[in-house]
Chains A and B, each alone.
Chain A
Amino acid sequence: MASVTGADRPRKKIQRKRLPVAPYFVGLILVLALLWVAAIAGSGWKFPTPKLGLDLQGGLSMTLSAYQQGTEEPPAPETMEQARQIIENRVNSTGVSEPEVYVEGSENIVVNVAGNDIDEEALRAVGAPAELRFRIVTNSVADTSALEEQLAEQETPTEEPTDGASETPTAESTETPAGDASEAPTDEAAEETSEGSGQAPTTEDTAATLDEVWAKVGPDAAAAAQALTAAPDEATSALLEPFGALKPEEVALLPATVQFYLPQITCETLDSRPPGAVQQPDIEVTACSAPEAAAADDPSLTFQYKYLLQPATVLGSDVTSADVGTDQANLNQFVVNVQFSTEGAEKWSALTTENLQSQVAIVLDNEVVSAPTIQEVSSNSTQISGEFTAAEANQLADQLNFGSLPTNFVVETVNEVTATLGVDQLKAGMIAMVLGLILVFLYCMVYYRFMGFVVLGSLIVATAVLYPTVALLGSQIGLTLTLAGIAGFVVSIGITADSFIVYFERIKEEMAGGRSARSAVPRAWVRARRTVLSAAAVSMLSAVVLYILAIGPVRAFAFSLGLSTLVDIMVVFLFTHPIAEFLSRGNLLNKPSLSGLHTKTAPAAAGEAAAKG
């Protein structure tokens, strides 16, 4: 409205530049309204809250770093993305809720898991290098222990499902354990587990070498187990009871045949062995299939097959590609087509020739993914058929394609924050923010008097813009507010307030030159704008460079710094400047006691300047 009267007046040059303030405020209100509505909508029509980082709500954050032997080069981005997907699957399989797995920088993968109830050991293992192996099945037995448990729970004892074991121990399977001193398997086994737990000096709880495992179960059970060449009879079975109490890590140390024949060693235990337990290609291993439904009408009743497997000759690295197709004969039947490399094709051809009609197990991450029977000799490509659904076929193709992690990972950092500490840290961050705001406001009040309220108003507007933005980014692109992020916001209070200072100092300077507030404010704005933009550009530059190049928690810091800088520019242009213009039209700013923009001797200074001129 002030602008209307201004337009009607006879104009002097300076008045042509008079600013209509209303559009700015309308613009600001529109932006605010839009942001808030979007934020409220984004959080499902509730009051929006930012997504809190793990350090503020409790949880575990782990950084895995890719390392490749003999090269400093970081892995290709596609490699990292593959690895991320696999790690995400593995994290999901540990049963945690809503894990967050993302690639950071060129060689880090960050795993974030909220909550307090986390199996740290299992999580640490997700980066272990499990590789795909093709192994001929020597023997298999159905493991119904899970099923029995389920049935017992349901208290509906029905007849045992068919013991689908084909108990036909072959000649091969007997050669390893019995007479042999336990040395060779021990070394190998120890090596395998060292990935997960390192060469730990023995603690009371977990046996770390095979000898210790034998000692733990007792000599009788040990002797009995090593003598086994087939499933034990009733009497031996009783003797073997101590094996049921072994931990998965300890089980992994046992010779494959012991793992296989002992009914006390269940598939549940075998699946929980440290990752990489069945990775060594040149030894015999035992692994289980994925659970299968025992009865068509009740999917909760499952059993697994336990397989005794030969050393692997064909490895995951021999597969060049795998895709899903349909059976030529039956178009409703999904199959997986596998292509081998030249070298892989030779090995595959040899394998299929020797083992026609045998089962070949595809082993990944301690688990037999699939165990098709070899129907014909094939070389450079093969077709895996079975009762696949489309999803199963796709999954198998994916696993064949990049089932194993394409590179090695080491755990770089593990940060476990309890919910209590998280709340404390959040509180601390909030205190810092409020304290920072108060200090800045007090300083501005002392220094700029009434204009201090303009600073306060601007900071409040900035907060009113930032809050829904952070909440919105949280709900839409998963931006989390971490402690470092809060630190960024606190630091940027200073940067934001500083643009006002640049502006006010400029006004002060113009007024000291003898101008009234009315003419000083627009003049000052033109110059201050340049300074504010230059300075903001530098802040923005440092924030962007940091965000793109840095790793670790400080990226959040850089992000909030950059976001605040943008908001700062917006607030200065849409709020601080118009409000200063508006105030300059009244008489308020011309009163030295109120505005803090005056110098006490202003008239004299003006006179002096005039005299000089």
Chain B
Amino acid sequence: MSTKQNEKRPGILSQLYRGETDFQFVAARKKFYIASAVILGALVVVMLVKGFVLGIDFAGGVQYSVPATDSSVSLDDVENAAADAGAEVASGQIAGSGDGRAFIIRVGELDSDEQTAVRTAIAEEAGVGVDSISVSEVSATWGASVSKQALIALIVFMVLVSLFIWIRFERRMAVAAFGALMHDLVLTAGIYSLVGFEITPSTIVGMLTILGYSLYDTVVVFDKVQENTAQLLQTRSKTFAEGVNDAINQTLMRSINTTIIGVLPVAALLFVGVGILGVGTLKDLALVLFVGMIVGAYSSIFLAAPWVVDMAERSAVYKRHNQKIANKRAGTDAEDEGAKPARKSAKAEDEDDDRLVLAKSDDLPLELLEEPEKAASGSGGARSGGPKKRKRR
């Protein structure tokens, strides 16, 4: 990440803490786009070449969880016992420790008679009662039907959430949030393929939850963007891109906190899921959430908000606005002297813009409540010293 740091500023952590960072997320957005595109492209190739490791739920099979109280019995012994009884052992592992230590043996599909035979054989080998072995059996079609339902849920969720953001914020943000979501999905799936994490139905449904989480993050950023840019057009001080960049910087600590606070309990879950239980829903859910939350935080900062800028800058209103700011910055002197006639038409345009914006900004209760007259009437020349400046930046 390129960090542009001003000389007088305190350390980066302290800046972060105070929301005073000035990272050029938006100006450098092309770099992030390219980086993301390269990573995504690479991961798509990985997915196509390497494919996914599918869990027991997709292939169908039986999982035995055998208490390993007798330390003289090894995992190999138990696996062999299962194989001798006619099972095709897919994997075996030891989970937990001490009293909770257990062998987890996965085998291919068995019918119920074979299952009983394998269970008995394992029980004898491990020196435990048949009743103390937990069995979990899945048919080969189960994973597919769970995934199908998850896919339906995904589509419904996408549509609803896009509508929500459209209504709550605006169209551009809905599109950007949607794009960020797709990015998160592909990236998470790619990481799964790359690392070779096992995919289970829980993983797939956990992915849906990530979408919620990733959006949650995006919504927090957008909320600030909307607040910062609501009255932007009435000022001459910032372009839309700069406004958005400020918003990202101001919410950066929030985003980081959101992600850390979200990831902490998931990490606890992951620790327990992997360390104590070894396998199962808990691990699958925690892992996918863990990966997805981090990816989601990245996409809302580096992709979603900059996309909004890209789309916004294509509109005429913002183009004019940018032009005015460019003019102002380029030649304050020249303009002050000779541009009085031109100023008039510019002012007329301003008022058009203001009306347009004010129509949309009635959801800013505090400002309007406290300073209604000023906000409504403030298209005068004293813009840059307007009341809004009291707020930071």
Contacts and interface: CB of A to CB of B under 8 A. Distances in A.
A421 B113 contact: no
Interface residues of B, number: 93
A429 B134 contact: no
Interface string A262-291: 000000000000000000000000000000
A550 B277 contact: no
Contact of A557 (B152, B211, B285): B285
A527 B366 contact: yes
Contact of A542 (B96, B157, B220): B157
B111 A197 contact: yes
Interface in A174-196: 196
Interface string B280-296: 11100110010000000
Interface in A509-537: 509, 512-513, 523, 526-527, 530-531, 534-535, 537
Interface stretch (B30-38, B136-144, B347-355, B373-381): B136-144
Q: Per DSSP, are chain B's interface residues mostly helix, strand or loop, or mixed?
A: helix
Given A197-B111, A418-B131, A425-B277, A542 B389 contact: no
A232 interface: no
Contacts of B161: 538, 541-542
Contact of A505 (B114, B211, B254): B254
B112 A198 contact: yes
Contact of B212 (A116, A410, A440, A543): A543
Task: Count chain A CB atoms within 10 A of each CB in B20, B112, B251, B289 and give the residue with the most.
Answer: B112
B344 interface: no
Contacts of A535: 216, 219-220
B336 to A, nearest CB: 20
Contacts of B365: 526
Interface stretch (B259-267, B310-318, B326-334): B259-267
Nearest to B165: A538
Q: Per DSSP, are chain A's interface residues mostly helix, strand or loop, or mixed?
A: helix
A484 B285 contact: yes
B85 to A, nearest CB: 10
Nearest to B150: A550
Contacts, number: 279
Interface string B69-108: 0000000000000000010000000001000101000000
B138 A412 contact: yes
Contact of B264 (A197, A436, A531): A436
Contacts of A375: none
Contact of B223 (A413, A491, A508, A530): A530
Contact of A613 (B18, B133, B385): B385
Nearest to A609: B392
B258 A498 contact: yes
Task: Count chain A CB atoms within 10 A of each CB in B102, B132, B137, B168 and give the residue with the most.
Answer: B137
B189 interface: no
Interface string A138-157: 00000000000000000000
Interface string B366-388: 10001000000000000001000
A47 B124 CA distance: 42
A65 B145 contact: yes
Contacts of A541: 157, 160-161, 164, 212
B361 interface: no
Interface string A3-34: 00000000001100000000000000000000
A599 B250 CA distance: 14
B150 A413 contact: no
A613 B389 contact: yes
Contacts of A410: 139, 141
A565 to B, nearest CB: 10
A329 interface: no
Contacts of A609: 389-392
Interface range for A: 35 or more
Contacts of A537: 164, 168
A197 B111 CA distance: 6
B325 interface: no
A505 B16 CA distance: 12
B187 interface: no
B229 to A, nearest CB: 15
Nearest to A596: B17
Contacts of B206: 554
B370 A487 contact: no
B127 interface: no
Interface string A563-590: 0000000000000000000000000000
B111 A508 contact: no
A2 interface: no
B284 to A, nearest CB: 10
B262 A432 contact: no
Contacts of B244: none
B14 A428 contact: no
A443 B389 contact: no
Interface string B206-234: 10110111011001100110010000000
B137 A415 contact: yes
Nearest to A505: B254
Contacts of A444: 261
B365 to A, nearest CB: 6
A413 B208 CA distance: 22
B40 interface: no
B212 A539 contact: yes
B273 A549 contact: no
B268 interface: yes
12 contacts: A203-B113, A412-B141, A417-B136, A429-B272, A487-B269, A495-B216, A508-B19, A541-B212, A542-B212, A550-B208, A554-B205, A601-B18
7 cross-chain pairs, A with B, having the tightest CB-CB distances, nearest first: A542-B212, A436-B265, A198-B111, A494-B262, A549-B153, A435-B268, A599-B18
Interface of A: 13-14, 63, 65, 105, 116-117, 120-121, 124, 196-201, 203, 206, 410-418, 420-421, 424-425, 427-429, 431-433, 435-437, 439-440, 443-444, 447, 483-484, 487, 490-491, 493-495, 497-498, 501-502, 505, 508-509, 512-513, 523, 526-527, 530-531, 534-535, 537-539, 541-543, 545-546, 548-554, 557-558, 561, 599-601, 605, 609, 612-613
Given A417-B136, A543-B212, A553-B281, 9 more contacts: A14-B370, A411-B137, A413-B139, A415-B136, A432-B271, A443-B260, A491-B262, A534-B168, A554-B285
